[in-house]
């Protein structure tokens, strides 16, 4: 099985659930302590062995490109004693991977955004990392999907069980154990986006990561707008699941939804607690604050 070396990060959405922060700033650039969300995502892909990354952007998302570019004025300002660490960090961001950009001219949905990656991925499998889902963990979620692809030779999705309330806003997977397979691997032969009550297959939902094979493009070509009038990637993956089967990987790692305000705060607080620079001071502050609640 060929090694997966390409990833796609759709980051063109309007982020309406995080307004007004996202009026002029992409939600993918919301910081988690001191790094924008999308940097954690690019770092996850790189740790999984991905070499080439396509970020799908849109109007008003130019600062994502700037973030992964060299910054000569800043680098000159940092080239002095005492600033070595900051300089190294800035240079490191620009050298993380080969990063490419394409603009989705209309936000017609995640499926439409992924369709734009076809000239980039060609006939190769690729990982999709949703630009507003940060997953922290020792074993990168993208790597867990790559291993599942190598084991079964078909598309794979990162799944976790969510509450009945949450499943209405996400997707629901029809799962079955894989005989002889790992305990956290499932065969998915159908799925539904934003199921109405009674429509759900299980409480397993795709959370922010999938590994797709090129057949997805032929399916996306005829995928009609679904929930919310958008071209839903889940609808295309459902067809892939029904025709070829998809592996569900109940991944290890903690996922933060940077597309909603509570998720943003959970990511901030939990990351700050273990941050090498501010962790101990923030923990003391939080304990004191909690005592007053």
**List of residues contacting ligand UTP (CB under 6 A):** 10-17, 56, 104, 107-110, 112-113, 130-132, 259
Q: How far is the CB of 183 from ligand UTP (least distance, A)?
A: 29
Q: Could you tell me which residues come within 8 angstroms of residue 31 by beta carbon, excluding any fewer than 6 positions away?
A: 37, 268
Question: What does the block give as tokens for 292?
Answer: 């007053």
**Based on CB atoms, which residue is closest to ligand UTP, 36 or 272?**
36
**Distance of closest approach, residue 162 Cβ to ligand UTP, in angstroms:** 15
Q: State which residue has the least CB distance to ligand UTP.
A: 13
Distances (CA, A) of 46 to 17, 73, 97, 145, 150: 29, 27, 7, 14, 18
Q: Between residues 258 and 272, which has the closer beta carbon with respect to ligand UTP?
A: 258
Tell the smallest beta-carbon distance from residue 225 to ligand UTP (Å): 11
Assign 55 to helix, strand or coil: strand
Sign of CA dihedral 158, 163, 166, 168: positive
Minimum distance, C-beta of residue 27 to ligand UTP, in the bound complex (Å): 6
CB atoms near residue 59 (< 10 Å) = 12
Q: Which is nearer to ligand UTP, 106 or 292 (CB)?
A: 106
- Whichever of 31 and 177 has its CB closer to ligand UTP, that residue is 31
Quick one: 228 or 276, whose CB is closer to ligand UTP? 228
Sign of CA dihedral 136, 140, 145, 151: negative
Cβ 126 to ligand UTP shortest distance, Å: 15
């Amino acid at each position: 099985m060929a090694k997966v070396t390409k990833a796609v990060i759709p980051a063109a959405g309007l982020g309406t659930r995080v307004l007004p922060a996202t009026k002029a700033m992409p939600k993918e650039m919301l910081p988690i302590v001191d790094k924008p969300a999308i940097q954690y995502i690019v770092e996850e892909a790189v740790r999984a062995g991905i070499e080439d990354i396509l970020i799908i952007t849109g109007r008003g998302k130019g600062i994502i490109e700037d973030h992964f570019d060299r910054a000569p004025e800043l680098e000159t300002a940092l080239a002095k004693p005492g600033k070595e660490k900051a300089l190294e960090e800035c240079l490191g961001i620009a050298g993380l991977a080969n990063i490419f950009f394409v603009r989705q001219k209309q936000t017609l949905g995640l499926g439409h955004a992924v369709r734009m990656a076809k000239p980039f991925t060609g006939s190769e499998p690729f990982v999709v990392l949703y630009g507003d889902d940060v997953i922290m963990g020792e074993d990168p979620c993208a790597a867990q999907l790559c291993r599942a692809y190598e084991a079964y030779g078909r598309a794979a999705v990162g799944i976790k069980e969510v509450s009945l309330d949450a499943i209405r806003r996400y997707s629901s997977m029809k799962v079955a154990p894989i005989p002889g397979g790992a305990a956290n691997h499932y065969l998915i032969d159908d799925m539904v986006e934003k199921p109405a009550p009674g429509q759900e297959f299980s409480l397993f939902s795709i959370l922010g990561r999938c590994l797709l094979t090129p057949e997805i493009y032929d399916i996306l070509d005829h995928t009609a707008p679904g929930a919310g009038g958008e071209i839903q990637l889940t609808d295309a993956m459902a067809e892939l699941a029904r025709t070829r089967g998809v592996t569900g990987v109940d991944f290890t790692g903690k996922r933060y939804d940077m597309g909603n305000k509570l998720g943003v705060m959970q990511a901030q607080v939990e990351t700050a607690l273990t941050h090498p620079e501010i962790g101990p001071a923030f923990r003391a502050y939080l304990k004191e604050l909690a005592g007053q609640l």
